[in-house]
Amino acid sequence: MTRIALCQIPVSPDPSANLKRVREALASAEGADLAIFPEATLTRYGRRISTLAEPLDGPFVSGLAESAREHGLAVIAGVFEPGEDRVHNTAVAIDARGELKAAYRKIHLFDSFGAKESDLVAPGAEPAVVELAGVRVGLITCYDVRFPELARALVDRGAELFAVIAAWGSGPLKEDHWVTLVRARALENTMWTAAVGQAPNPAESSDGFGVGRSMLVDPLGVVRSDLGTGPGVRVVQVDREWTATARAMLPCLEHRVL
């Protein structure tokens, strides 16, 4: 069993406030091997990300690493990293010793539903699989979840678990899209999927980011845990023996033709 803390926190424009929330969440994630936080945990989306982006050895990621080491568990969280002309929307993966093991730059940018993430963010190019807490984790960020080819590329790179981090936007049918897409990526790849989104932040609700609904989905697409809307931390268990059982019943990865 691998124990995962789904850390559904509200996100502020202030990085120091967000780091404090991360530390509080980790303190309540007792027994977890891996804690997953949302996309954009560093700071809330907006033009501010261009000035608040930090290098991976900056104070925010260093604070994440210190907290991971203090609590003895691995951490995945979303940050913004400076680039040449725009920032990168980056998922950092830190092990229980506080070492940065991977930094995945979001490939698919949210130029949809009237938004244009690419105005501020430069796309990444490489899928990322990282070993944390003894599990090979494939990293997926928000809009990426709409692209099944990325999830399949992570399978081909040896992923045993998908970690989906998001600052999902609210709006008509958007919450349904989130639940459907997370379950689809789990089912079509017979893969445990831990998906963590921002909790709504009433102080910043005008931008619409954060619907909650962090969840753990099993390899047959069954939602094993759903945090609903409000802030919370929940420790869930991933049973990799169930992955083998599910794939024996539904060997769709073996049946691939293309």
Integer-rounded Cα Rg, in Å, for the chain is: 17
Residue 209 DSSP one-character state = B
**For residue 199, how many other CB atoms are within 10 A of its CB?**
24
Question: From the candidates 7, 54, 81, 106, which is the catalytic residue?
Answer: 106
Name the strands in the sheet holding 161-166, side by side, starting at the edge strand that comes first in the sequence: 129-132, 135-141, 161-166, 192-197, 215-217, 223-226
Q: Is 113 left (phi over 0), alpha (psi -120 to 50) or beta?
A: left
Taking CA atoms, 227 is separated from 38, 189, 214, in Å, by 13, 23, 5
Which candidate, 107, 105, 110, places its Cα nearest to that of 93? 105
Note if 252 is an active site residue. Answer: no
Note if 142 is an active site residue. Answer: yes
Helices 59-71 and 15-27 sit at what angle, rounded to 10 degrees? 10
Question: From the candidates 7, 39, 54, 204, which is the catalytic residue?
Answer: 39
What whole-number distance in Å separates Cα of residue 235 and Cα of residue 225?
Answer: 10
Note if 39 is an active site residue. Answer: yes
Question: From the candidates 54, 142, 160, 204, which is the catalytic residue?
Answer: 142
Q: CA end-to-end span of the chain, whole Å?
A: 32
What whole-number distance in Å separates Cα of residue 26 and Cα of residue 37?
Answer: 10
- Taking the mean position of all CA atoms in its chain, how far away is CA 111? 19
Residues annotated as catalytic are 39, 106, 142
